[in-house]
Amino acid sequence: MSEPASAAIKADYDAVVVGAGFAGLYMIHKLRSLGLSVLAFEAGSGVGGTWFWNRYPGARCDVYSLEYSYSFDEALQREWVWTERYPAQAEILRYIEHVADRFDLRRDIRFNTRVASAHYNEPANLWRVETEAGEAVTARFCIMASGALSAPRKPDFAGLDDFAGTWYHTGHWPHEPVDFTGQTVAVIGTGSSGIQVTPMVAQQAKRLFVFQRTPNFSIPAWNHPLPDHVQDAWKRDAAQLRAKAKATKSGALYEYGQRGAFEVSEEERQREFDARWARGGANFTHAFNDLFKDRAANDLAADYVRGKIREIVKDPAIAAKLTPTDHAIGTKRICVDTDYYATFNRENVTLVDARETPITRITQAGIETSGGHYAVDSIVFATGYDAVTGALTRIDIRGRGGVSLAEKWQDGPKTYLGLMVAGFPNLFTITGPGSPSILTNVVMAIEQHVEWVGDCLTYMARNAATTIEAEPKAEEDWVNHVREVAEATLHVQANSWYMGANIPGKPRVMLPYVGGLGVYTGICNDIAADGYRGFAMARAG
C-alpha cells in the first residue's frame, strides 16, 4: 500500500502526522510497521507533547505511572522502571524520549515546525499540508495527533504588554529552571495546573497571591516512591491488568464502586470516603456508581471534600472561599494535589477572590483588580486551554469543496466516533471530540485510536480502497448519541472546559464521549468488524 493506488499525482508520503506526543509517536511507529512512509511535524523542539511543554514546578500526572504508559510493547513495559506512584513531568518526558530513541522515531519528525494548513485536494485524493514557514508536502492520509490539551489559552488581559516583570503560562514553561526566590508572585487560575504549581511557588517566593475565580475540588495524591515489589507484581501480570484497564470506563484500574451512594448506610459511606481519601487520587470520584448521575449522591461526596477543606485550612473565611459550591464534584476535571489547601495556611500566601474583585488589567507593576492593585515581580498564568478542538481549529483544515473544519464545527464539533469527519476524507483525529479522550487515562485512549486507525488502513489496503470517509448520517447519529449520553450525566451542568465553557463564544457541547473507554472500544470494534459501517470507502479509478 505504500504506492498510492489511484493518484495521478504521487503523494510525497503515505501519511502526515501532526504532533509528536504520546499519540504522534505511536502513530509513526504503527504506520511504519504497516510499511507506510510517514512524516510528522512537531511545533516543539522535541518529542513529548504535554510533557515537553508543561515544565512548571509541580507538574506531574495523576494516573499511576505503571498505567500512564504505553502497553503496546511488552519489552518496553517490562524494562522501563518508574520511580514514583505519580511521576513528575521530567520523568514522563524521559520515558517518552526513551520510546522515541528505542523505536528510532525522530528521523521521521520535523521539529520546530508548526503546521498552518491542511487542504484536501479532491481530484488527486491527497492532503496538502503546509507549515507556517511555507513548506508543503502531500500525503494520502493526514493524521491529527495534535493533542486535546495543547492549545494554551493565551492570557488576554488588557495591559499584559506593559508588565515590567516576567510572565509564564504553565503550558509553555521555559526549559531553564525558574527561580522565584525573594519574589512576589501571582498565580492566576486554580484548575489542575494552578493547584499543582501553587504549593511549589509558595515554598520559594517571598510572597504569593493566588487569584481564584472558581474554587475546585482536589484530592490528595499522597505520592510516594514506587516499591520494587509493586512494580514487579504489575510487570508479571501486565497483559492481564492492561486488558482489564482498557475495558473500564476510565482506562485505569480505579476501584469502581458497584453500589449507589444511598444503597449503603451512612457509616459505610463514611468509611468508603475515608478509605478513598486515604488512598488518594481520582479514585475518590468512583466511590459509588451514581456520583456522576445523581446530584444528591454527588452532594454526599462533595460535602465530604468540603469538610476536609474546612479541616485543613485554619482560617474559616479562607476555607469558605476555597470551597466549591457551583458544580458537582468530578464534573470539572477532579484535581489531585500535594499540599494545595494547606498552602493557604502559610503566612506568605494570600488568596485573592477574582470573582468578587475581578482582574481588570495588568499594569506595569502588577495586577489591577476591582478591589485594588497587587504589585508583583512575576505572573504565572494557569488559565488553561482551548481544549479538545483548539489545536484542530487553529489549523486551517479544509475538506471537500474547500469547506473549513472550523466553520463546520461552528455550532460544536461533529465527528464519527471522534475519529473522522464527514467531508474530510482520509483525515483522522486521534482523541478527537466525541471520543473518550481526556475523560480517561489518555494513553489508553490514544493506543485504542492508533490501533483502530492502523487496522483500518490495513483493511483499506487489502480491499484496494484509497479513500475512507465518515458518512453524514453516521456522523449525525454519533453526535446525537454523544449528546444523549452526556445529558444523562451531571457533566452538562458544569461550566467546565469539557463543555467548552472556559472559552468565550465556544459552543456549549460536551466535547468528550462520556460512555466510557471500554464501551466505546466495543462500538469501534463492532463497526470495523461490520466492514467499517458508517464509513464510505472508495477505490481508485
d(CA 103, CA 29): 7
Distance CA 369, CA 353 (A): 10
Q: Which does 145 bind (CB under 5 to 8 A by kind): ligand FAD, ligand NAP, none?
A: ligand FAD
Name the closest residue to ligand NAP (Cβ): 191
Question: Which residue bears the cell 514546578?
Answer: 57
Whose Cβ is closer to ligand NAP: residue 62's or residue 377's? 62
384 lines the binding site for ligand NAP (CB under 6 A): yes
* SS3 of the chain: helix, strand, coil, percent, to 5: 35, 20, 45
**From ligand FAD, ligand NAP, none, which one binds at residue 399 (CB under 5 to 8 Å depending on kind)?**
none
Query: What is the binding site for ligand FAD (CB under 6 A)?
Result: 18-24, 41-44, 49-50, 52, 54, 59, 61-63, 68, 114-115, 145-147, 149-150, 171, 193, 391, 395, 430-431, 438, 441-442, 446
Does 120 interact with ligand NAP (rule: CB under 6 A)?
A: no
Report the residue number, 359 or 511, with the smaller CB distance to ligand NAP.
Answer: 359
Q: Which does 245 bind (CB under 5 to 8 A by kind): ligand FAD, ligand NAP, none?
A: none
Q: Which residues contact 404 (CB under 8 A, 6 or more apart)?
A: 396, 397, 398
Binding at 250: pick from ligand NAP, ligand FAD, none (beta carbon under 5-8 Å per type): none
Determine contact, residues 514/250, Cβ cutoff 8 Å.
Answer: no
Q: Which is nearer to ligand NAP, 360 or 404 (CB)?
A: 360
Count of chain residues binding ligand NAP (CB under 6 A)? 26
- Least separation in angstroms between residue 28's CB and ligand FAD is 11
CA distance 479 to 482: 5
Task: Provide the minimum distance between the beta carbon of 283 and ligand FAD in the complex, in angstroms, as a whole number.
Answer: 13
Q: Which does 441 bind (CB under 5 to 8 A by kind): ligand NAP, ligand FAD, none?
A: ligand FAD
For ligand FAD, give the closer residue by CB, 22 or 163. Answer: 22
> Rounded to whole angstroms, how far apart are CA atoms 144 and 279?
37
Q: Is 213 in the site for ligand NAP (CB under 6 A)?
A: yes
Does 62 help bind ligand NAP (rule: CB under 6 A)? yes
Quote the least distance from Cβ 220 to ligand FAD, whole Å: 15
Query: CB count, 10 Å around CB of 538?
Result: 14
Buried b (16+ CB within 10 A) or exposed e, 6-29: bbeeebbbbbbbbbbbbbbbbbbb
Residue 502 binds ligand NAP (CB under 6 A): yes
For ligand NAP, which stretch binds (CB under 6 A), given 182-190, 297-305, 316-324, 513-521? 182-190
Question: Which residues partner with 336 through β-bridges?
Answer: 219
Task: Please say whether the beta carbons of 334 and 499 come within 8 A.
Answer: no
Among 4, 19, 44, 189, binds ligand NAP (CB under 6 A): 189
* Distance between CA atoms of residues 232 and 215, nearest Å: 39
Cell numbers representing residue 269 in the block = 459511606
Concatenating the DSSP letter of every residue in 129-148 gives EEETTS-EEEEEEEEE---S
**Is 382 a residue that touches ligand NAP (CB under 6 A)?**
yes
- CA end-to-end span of the chain, whole Å? 16
Of 235 and 361, nearer to ligand NAP (C-beta) is: 361
Q: Using alpha carbons, select from 106, 140, 170, 134 the residue that is nearest to residue 34.
A: 140
By a kind-dependent CB cut-off of 5 to 8 A, residue 359 interacts, out of ligand NAP, ligand FAD, none, with ligand NAP
- For 102, 336, 356, 489, 513, the CA distances from 215, given in Å and listed in that order, are 42, 14, 13, 21, 25
Which partner, ligand FAD, ligand NAP, none, binds residue 367 by CB below 5 to 8 Å per kind?
Answer: none
Grid cell in block for residue 137: 508536502
393 binds, among ligand FAD, ligand NAP, none (CB under 5 to 8 A by kind): none
- From ligand NAP, ligand FAD, none, which one binds at residue 150 (CB under 5 to 8 Å depending on kind)? ligand FAD
Least Cα distance to 39 among 148, 116, 139 occurs for 139
CB of 534 to ligand NAP, least distance (A): 29
354 binds, among ligand NAP, ligand FAD, none (CB under 5 to 8 A by kind): ligand NAP
Angle at 381 between CA 378 and CA 386, to 5 degrees: 160
- Give ∠ CA 524-525-530 in degrees, rounded to 5: 100
Which x/- pattern over 318-347 shows residues binding ligand NAP (rule: CB under 6 A)? ---------------x--x-----------
Please, are residues 413 and 511 in contact by the beta-carbon 8 Å criterion?
yes
Residues that bind ligand NAP (CB under 6 A): 61-62, 149, 170, 188-194, 196, 211, 213-214, 333, 336, 354, 359, 382-385, 438, 497, 502
